């Protein structure tokens, strides 16, 4: 079997499902026995920054520019950082703003990602119909393989 370096994108949001997805992404990267390590890209997509109105004299700063951001970032990326360090896997952490599905798909296309690893929240049928499922949307429109990790 030919082992090639694969680019792995994992969706991170700080939930237990994304922590499991992070562990699986690192496990996939660590399973590559070639001399070149498979890199893992951990992508956190935050909601769009609130737009300021005419009544706002001082618009609020984006989440990544607040005092709480360092602590929050450490907690959200803790599992993927720890797992990647334990297995000596190259890790790149990315934070973007916008729609999670659109950002994951565009990142996968732009970086020629080979597999997307994403956690599933296991929402019930009604919640999935009302809110939609990000993992289902990504799986149906991704340019590469998608590995859905169930919680």
CATH number of the domain to which 74 belongs: 3.40.50.620
- Lowest-pLDDT range of 11-25, 52-66, 70-84, 93-107: 52-66
Burial of 18 (C-beta count, 10 Å sphere; 0-12/13-18/19+): buried
pLDDT, mean of residues 56-70: 64
Structural domain includes residue 3: no
**Six token digits for residue 26:** 């690192």
Q: For residue 2, tell me if it sits in a domain.
A: no
**Half-sphere exposure for 5 (CA within 13 Å, toward CB):** 9
pLDDT tier at 56, thresholds 50, 70, 90: low
pLDDT score recorded for residue 50? 53
In terms of residue numbers, what domain contains 12? 8-50+60-150
More confident residue, 127 or 78: 78
Confidence of residue 111 (pLDDT cuts 50, 70, 90): very high
- Which pLDDT value is given to residue 1? 39
Asked if residue 110 is part of any domain, the answer here is yes
Q: Could you tell me if residue 83 is inside a domain?
A: yes
CA 145 centroid distance within chain: 15
Number of domain units in the chain: 1
Q: For residues 51 and 41, what is the distance between their CA atoms, to the nearest angstrom? A: 28
Predicted pLDDT at 53? 53
Give me the helix-helix angle, 100-110 and 134-141, nearest 10°.
30
| pLDDT tier at 132, thresholds 50, 70, 90 | low
Bridge partner list, 116: 9, 146
- Please tell me the pTM assigned to this model: 0.81
pLDDT at 94: 94
77-103 confidence digits (pLDDT tens)? 999 999 999 999 999 999 999 999 999
What pLDDT is recorded for position 91? Answer: 96
């Amino acid at each position: 079997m030919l082992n090639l370096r694969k680019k792995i994108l994992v969706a991170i949001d700080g939930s237990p499902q994304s922590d499991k997805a992070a562990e699986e992404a690192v496990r996939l990267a660590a399973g590559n026995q070639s001399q070149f390590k498979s890199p893992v890209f951990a992508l956190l997509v935050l909601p769009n920054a609130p737009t300021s109105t005419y009544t706002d004299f001082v618009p609020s700063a984006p989440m990544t520019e607040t005092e709480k951001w360092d602590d929050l970032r450490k907690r959200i990326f803790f599992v993927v950082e720890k797992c990647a360090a334990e297995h000596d896997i190259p890790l790149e952490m990315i934070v973007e703003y916008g729609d999670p599905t659109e950002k994951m798909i565009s990142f996968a296309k732009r970086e020629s990602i080979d597999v997307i690893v994403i956690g599933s929240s296991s929402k019930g049928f009604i919640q999935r119909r009302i809110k939609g499922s990000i993992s289902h949307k990504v799986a149906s429109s991704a340019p590469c393989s998608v590995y859905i990790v169930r919680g």
